[in-house]
Structure 1
Amino acid sequence: MAAGTSSYSSIFSLKNSRPPDDTVFYSIYPDSCLSSSSAEDLHSLHLQILNYVQPLTAPYIWQHQPFSLSITPAPVPHLSGHLCFGDNLEDEWFVVHILFEISKRFPNLSIRVWDSDGEFLLIECAFHLPKWLNPETSTNRVFLRSGRLHILPPSIFQETPNLEDALRLLASQDGKDSSTSAPDAVQLHLNKKIGEYPERAYGNVHKVRVLVPVSVAWLLRHEPCLISLSVEGFYDRDIDSMKYAARMERLLPRGKQEEMVEVVVRMSRTMYAQLVQQKFQAPACYPMPERSNVAKYLEAELGMKIACGFEMMYQMRKKQGAEGKGSTWEAFRDSLERSGYFKGLLPGSNKYKTLLEKAEGYYQNSSLYSRARNLKDVDLDVDQFMKDMESVMGLRGSDKNDSDIDLEEGSSSDLDFDDDYEEGSEHADDIDEDGENEFMHSYSDALNKELKATTLDKTFVHANEETSKKKDEGTSNVDDEMEELTPVDVDFNLVKNFLESYSSQEGLSGPASNLLGLMGLRLPDDVGKGK
């Protein structure tokens, strides 16, 4: 069992390979990076930060990948990382909270954080920012330091500062009264948002009881965060990966004879919605209970989706040649090589061995080692495992994270304007109902005229279409310019096209099924066929 479990756990321990869409990026610059500091100092800081944040991140389940840092040697030596948050914005703001806490614990650091949209912290505080600050003028001006947001003003740098000059200025500042500290209104607004964490992030973790094969239970017991890979594999499945789920060769080798166990799984609420909202037929080889026991069947159905997600992710990564390359120690050692830690020494030399032993000591005291040590020689004691499962099930009924999260009081879109807000600006409330109806009628007429000149008009169903046809048969000589325009039946066309889109998905994930799931609706498989 040990050889088998270690082989697929190595694949599951790989870093997430999703493209950087919906991704938050961050860079941590120690003041010492501006001097001739050694690579060893940066590695020491790296491990100190990882160990500091480990208690913060341990109770949390990330949507796609955990918070991580790596050493970047150029252009200025620093620590950097990125995290794909996907559909779960809680991940992004939890990262911001972690970075603020790091800046408080290590005051001699300057931190940058941004996402696919740019400086999203400025977007959050948009109504309180000075007028000169915009996306074009914010380059190398926005940092976190000592638990506060810092904005480098034009009174110090009229032109866009380069990164090293900006870092030197920040390193020379002292305390919250520094000339670079953002206005108090900005700090208060940002602190109100971040102050909800980490409790809000922990409240986003959902517990659910499922029935899964013993191999899947083993994975989730030793590495609970791997649930994110399972949900990703299931939610992003395609025709090729579904072939692996149909056979379940790795995680269900004995088919319906495989031992099934009941476990409590922790996942984000977004993951839970992604699993529940999609209808998925269990593979023929998968053991499912009778539908008469509804509660047990639902537990087994959710567990089946998790198991299939693991199988698809495992097989796809194995196919890509990833097996055996997931060692966190190897990744850590490679980062040391790239950053020049070994100073060009030959492997096997006495000095090289000394540095290697020191690095191993750092690694074994880090959270990386504590997370990975149960994976590279594992012997699964089935009897002890079942006892552990029973102890976990003793927590039945103690779930207090299932309560809904209270909605936050306002956001950046609330009417929280500064003194420069102009009262004469236009609001949606200024448009009365008559004016809105008149606009919509005019818009509809213009749209119909455009459609009449194209074949696109034939793809829409119009109101009173049958009456219109009869009229056309009796007045075929009426000039087209004088023809009565019948409006498009928007509601009917929306529903018709929506159902056709759902039917074309053939049970796979897609826009229509995702939208229906968010609305809490489930349609039969044959909907829209032949209609």
Structure 2
Amino acid sequence: MDSKGNIGFSEGEFNEFPRGLPENCVEYLLFVIDSKLESRNLFSELENIRKAATQLCDSIAKEYIWQRDSFQLRIERDQDLVYLHGTTDYGDSVEDEWLIVYLLRELTKSFPNLWVRIFDDDGEFLLVEAANVLPKWLSPEIDSNRSWIHGGNLHLLPLAASSGVKRPLSLTEAVRYIKSDPNSLVHSAFIEAEAFYRLEKYPGQITDSIHRSLVKIPRKLAYILHEKPSTIAPAIEAFYLRDPVAMKPLASPSAKIHFPPEDLVTVSVKFTKILFAQLKSQRFSPPPIWSAIFEAAEKDISNADDDQKNLASLEMGMKVTSGFEMLTTNADTKDNRLAREFAMLLEDVEEDGAQVLPTNKDIETWEDVHREDDESWLDINFDDFEDELQGNRGPRSRPKGEFGDPSAQADLKKIVSRFEAFLNDESAGVEGAELEDMDEDDDISDDEEDSDDEDKEVSFDEEQFSKMMREMMGLPAVEPTNPEKISRTSTSVATHGTTIEEDEDDAIRQLAAQMEAELKEHGALKLDPRTGKPKAIEAKYGGDSKGKGKATLEQKVDNEEESSEDEDEVDVDYNLAKNLLESFKSQAGMAGPAGNILGMMGLQLPRDEDEEEED
């Protein structure tokens, strides 16, 4: 607080509250980092990159329909930094965000001195994609400004960029470190593959995301959509949100509207699949001005497929037209560039009149004017969906290997093939992964931890990963069969930061699983339905249905031991029973592995009354 009573923050205190992005927005920063480049030539180089980015977007995504904002760049200065900056609101279409990542990655392949930062309102979303394979020292609390795209690859700024201290980096610090030591950045092919996995379907995904459908709309609107197909995005958003003020003209039969249901034509309209699903899924009663048209169409309808399709195209056309009508109420004042372009185009059409509108012959010359894509990708069989989640094979109502749209099938097949290849490759592993030892006191200094973490590019246990993935994919688990594997599994658990007690518990659980397998092999867990006892022990040592207790069974075991001392063969059932009883006795009435195993066998042994009397 100053002398005037005003509350203020110092620059350092203010930096502790970084500016946050709005929801569903992605931001990208493009830097030219070249020690040989003179500062006076920096602006021209940035302008060359901006033009190249625009050309790349036009060539790759010319036909793409952006949900809200498109890919855009402008030169910006921030303190001593000069760079290209862009922000895109992708709304409900996450594909817009990944298309931008693809464009930027391709752009870095053409400019060797270009470094790109990209993040959204969730933070470093590329690192989120690769969260399972990141180095242990890299946490969400310190990952700011540490991921960069350069030369088509993903690079990470090491802990040394923050002088070995686990804290977030400022943008200025990150740029300064890249300038001083670009070769020290971490590049892991394994991390990069996970972070860029969604990019494998590009650029084909741009075409696959488009859906065309036949709709019946006014001729004026058909002309606008033909001239500017991308205006469908703000119109569907207006329809999807349905602002009460924007709906007033549609609710009043006497209101003046821009697109009355007159002079209707059937044309093929281009959507993205997300936009089409938003439009198709909405229940919307026809406005009063459309009621008469729907009543006439329903009277003439029959069971013929053509009549059903005609009614469906009329309903979709009514929704599209209503969306554009809602958009006209405040399109010229919206922040959305496409909405403003629509407002200007509508004004030109209404000023020029009917002479600019296309005739039926003109419409027939339009590309794909009668195209209608299959809508089966909208259908979801929830039984099949549940099968996929459970990892079950042999679906109930579909051919084997088919689920969802082709894109979803490709993603699922890719995941399965990667996983199977990893499990079948005996030499598969991660370079730099190693086990760390923990002493009894767990006394490791922060400096040692930091140096160890920095040296490890990736650290995780393959055997644990294999086990978890097999369980998740519904594959049979492969349990360790020798003490060496048990020891290695226990050590790998410690690598992930668990306590020594958890290591021992894990080893005990695996040992119990092996013992249970051996018990089943020798018939010890096959219970007699009459007595509830293991058949192997019951057959050898007798016993009545009431179970006389521990003393009777122990006496029989001792007698058997005396009679078999001179025999060369060792009776496995005898040794098993004897060891179980001794282990149970050593528990001294407390819980333990022997008691648990005997409980699984259906045996509840009594206390040792003889020893209590002697005490």
Same fold (TM over 0.5): yes
Q: Which residue of 1 aligns with 2:258?
A: 251
Aligned residues: 362
Matched position secondary structure for 1:285: helix
Question: Residues 194 and 323 (structure 1 numbering): CA distance in 2 closer, same or farther, change over 3 Å?
Answer: closer
* TM-score normalized with structure 2 length: 0.52
8 Å contact kept, 2:116–2:150 = yes
**What's the offset of the Cα at 1:99?**
1.3
Question: Residues 401 and 183 (structure 1 numbering): CA distance in 2 closer, same or farther, change over 3 Å?
Answer: farther
Q: Which residue of 2 aligns with 1:260?
A: 264
Q: Which residue of 2 aligns with 1:66?
A: 70
**Residue from 285, 302, 314 that aligns with 1:300:** 314
8 Å contact kept, 1:213–1:251 = no
Q: Which residue of 2 aligns with 1:221?
A: 226
**Residue from 22, 25, 45 that aligns with 2:24:** 22
1:310 aligns with 2:324: yes
Worse overlay, 280-289 or 47-56 = 280-289
Question: Residues 88 and 326 (structure 1 numbering): CA distance in 2 closer, same or farther, change over 3 Å?
Answer: closer
Larger radius of gyration, structure 1 or 2?
2
Worse overlay, 48-57 or 157-166 = 157-166
Q: Which residue of 1 aligns with 2:574?
A: none
Q: Which residue of 2 aligns with 1:283?
A: 287
Structure 2 matches for 1:126-275, cutoff 5 A?
126-158=131-163, 159=165, 160-171=168-179, 178-247=183-252, 249-252=256-259, 255-256=260-261, 258-275=262-279
1:396 aligns with 2:386: no
CA distance in 2, matches of 1:68, 1:30: 17
* TM-score normalized with structure 1 length: 0.59
**What's the offset of the Cα at 1:392?**
2.9
Q: Deviations over 1:398-418 (max 9, x none)?
A: 858987333213679x97896
8 Å contact kept, 2:124–2:144 = no
1:45 aligns with 2:49: yes
Matched residue type, 1:306: V
Worse overlay, 161-170 or 122-131 = 161-170
8 Å contact kept, 1:25–1:115 = yes
Q: Which residue of 1 aligns with 2:519?
A: none
CA distance in 2, matches of 1:322, 1:79: 21
CA distance in 1, matches of 2:211, 2:281: 15
Question: Residues 395 and 401 (structure 1 numbering): CA distance in 2 closer, same or farther, change over 3 Å?
Answer: farther
Q: Which runs of 5+ in 2 are unaligned?
A: 1-20, 302-306, 378-404, 423-428, 434-458, 473-615
**What's the offset of the Cα at 1:383?**
6.5
The structure with higher relative contact order (CA 8 Å, sep 6+) is: 1
Q: Which residue of 2 aligns with 1:469?
A: none
8 Å contact kept, 2:215–2:317 = yes
**What's the offset of the Cα at 1:283?**
1.7
Question: Residues 38 and 125 (structure 1 numbering): CA distance in 2 closer, same or farther, change over 3 Å?
Answer: closer
8 Å contact kept, 1:245–1:283 = yes
CA distance in 2, matches of 1:52, 1:211: 35
Question: Residues 38 and 130 (structure 1 numbering): CA distance in 2 closer, same or farther, change over 3 Å?
Answer: closer
Structure 2 matches for 1:472-511, cutoff 5 A?
none
CA distance in 2, matches of 1:24, 1:326: 20
Worse overlay, 241-250 or 47-56 = 241-250
CA distance in 2, matches of 1:193, 1:230: 29
Question: Residues 326 and 424 (structure 1 numbering): CA distance in 2 closer, same or farther, change over 3 Å?
Answer: closer
CA distance in 1, matches of 2:169, 2:270: 45
Q: Deviations over 1:398-442 (max 9, x none)?
A: 858987333213679x97896644567997979xxxxxxxxxxxx
CA distance in 2, matches of 1:385, 1:50: 35
Matched position secondary structure for 2:105: helix
8 Å contact kept, 1:216–1:251 = no
8 Å contact kept, 1:207–1:401 = no
Matched position secondary structure for 1:65: coil
8 Å contact kept, 2:32–2:42 = no
CA distance in 2, matches of 1:279, 1:265: 20
8 Å contact kept, 2:161–2:177 = no
Matched residue type, 1:62: W
CA distance in 1, matches of 2:343, 2:111: 26
8 Å contact kept, 2:126–2:196 = no
Matched residue type, 1:222: E
**What's the offset of the Cα at 1:79?**
1.8
Matched residue type, 1:271: L
Identity of aligned residues (%): 29
CA distance in 1, matches of 2:339, 2:177: 41
CA distance in 2, matches of 1:297, 1:125: 47
**What's the offset of the Cα at 1:165?**
4.3
**Residue from 73, 92, 96 that aligns with 2:97:** 92
Question: Residues 394 and 191 (structure 1 numbering): CA distance in 2 closer, same or farther, change over 3 Å?
Answer: closer
**What's the offset of the Cα at 1:173?**
6.6
CA distance in 1, matches of 2:336, 2:112: 41
Question: Residues 402 and 65 (structure 1 numbering): CA distance in 2 closer, same or farther, change over 3 Å?
Answer: farther
CA distance in 2, matches of 1:36, 1:401: 55
Q: Deviations over 1:446-493 (max 9, x none)?
A: xxxxxxxxxxxxxxxxxxxxxxxxxxxxxxxxxxxxxxxxxxxxxxxx
CA distance in 2, matches of 1:294, 1:216: 23
Matched position secondary structure for 2:78: coil
8 Å contact kept, 1:251–1:311 = yes
Q: Which residue of 2 aligns with 1:387?
A: 361
**What's the offset of the Cα at 1:243?**
0.9
Q: Deviations over 1:258-308 (max 9, x none)?
A: 211211111111111111111112222234450213211211111111111
